[in-house]
Structure 1
Amino acid sequence: MTLNPVQIQTVKPVVSNNLGNSSSPADITKTFSDFLQNALDGVGAQEQNVHTMNDQYLLGNVDVSQVMVASEQAELGLQLTSQIRNKVIEAYQEIMRMQI
């Protein structure tokens, strides 16, 4: 039994270029929250894949290179998520410092 390596998921933009649409702020927030949830689920799936690959490696079903690739993909996904979180917090703090 061999496992296929994880394929890199592409992120499709959810923002519409339609200026005449009647999207409410609640709709936009829901779309953004769905996007964030899908991104976090993807990072979680990568981590789960690494655990599965490790188990399969211990059983002798996959090569060490496949385990290393899956591990690096999960690590990069986690680093990206962490950097995005840091930028969002930084932007929030900057907005809170603004005087109205």
Structure 2
Amino acid sequence: MTFNPVQLQTVKPAESNGLSTSSPSDITKTFGDFLQKALDGVSTQEQNVHTMNDQYMLGNVDVSQVMVASQQAELSLQLTSQIRDKVIEAYQEIMRMQI
């Protein structure tokens, strides 16, 4: 199973004047769903690594397959933590803005 962190979400305009039917709460919900799917993908990869480790111990899987799955899960986790750090940084920047 692979993790695709980048999926484009498009908002289609409802009218020709450029206004869309998507409210800010709809967009937030869509973004929240996207984040939840991404986190579920990372969790699935980690579970896959544990399963492959068990299969390796039983002699059913080659060590190279375990290493590849482990590296994929590690990269996904690193990407997730980098995204988290950027979101927190952006939030802190917004909070520092003068209104």
Partner Cα separation in structure 2 for residue 98 and residue 9 of structure 1: 35
Structure 2 runs not aligned, ≥5 long: none
Look up the match of 1:14. Answer: 9
- 3-state SS of 2:77 partner: helix
Q: Which has the higher contact order (CA 8 A, sep 6+)?
A: 1
Shift of 1:64: 0.2
Aligned Cα root-mean-square deviation (Å): 1.3
Letter paired with 2:11: S
Partner Cα separation in structure 1 for residue 89 and residue 55 of structure 2: 40
Look up the match of 2:54. Answer: 55
Shift of 1:94: 0.5
What is the TM-score when the length of structure 1 is the normalising length?
A: 0.87
- 3-state SS of 1:56 partner: helix
Q: Percent identity, aligned pairs only? A: 74
- Pair 1:83 & 2:82 matched: yes
- 3-state SS of 1:23 partner: coil
For the 8 Å contact 2:3–2:38, the answer to whether it is kept is no
Q: Which runs of 4+ in 1 moved over 4 A?
A: none
Letter paired with 1:9: F
Partner Cα separation in structure 2 for residue 53 and residue 73 of structure 1: 13
- Pair 1:30 & 2:41 matched: no
Partner Cα separation in structure 2 for residue 41 and residue 34 of structure 1: 10
Letter paired with 2:9: V
Look up the match of 2:40. Answer: 41
Shift of 1:17: 5.0
What is the TM-score when the length of structure 2 is the normalising length?
A: 0.88
